[in-house]
Amino acid sequence: MSKEQVAVYFEPVAAENARLAIASSGDLRRAINAILTLDGFFGTLHAELYEQGAITEPSDDIWKEELAQQNEDYRLLRDCA
């Protein structure tokens, strides 16, 4: 997966779902959609970073756990997903 493919996933899918959820606070469907697509984005990001050699952890679950330990906002997102 290329950087362009990651960007194509993030902006029109994950970021847009997040914007819609924020604009419609209280809409559970939009909130869940945003959470799941953002979590999926982090899996896609992991694959790209691993493929580029920017990270050495082959397991996205382990990488996500390491990230969650470093960033409380991400931990909340990951735990919700």
Going residue by residue through the chain (81 aa), what tens digit of pLDDT does each one get? 667 777 778 888 898 999 999 999 999 999 999 999 999 999 989 999 999 999 999 999 999 999 999 999 999 999 999
Query: Which pLDDT score is estimated for 46?
Result: 94
Query: Which pLDDT score is estimated for 34?
Result: 95
Query: Which pLDDT score is estimated for 58?
Result: 97
SS3 81: coil
Distances (CA, A) of 68 to 31, 42, 43, 73: 20, 11, 13, 8
The region that residue 26 occupies, defined by phi over 0 for left and psi between -120 and 50 for alpha, beta otherwise, is left
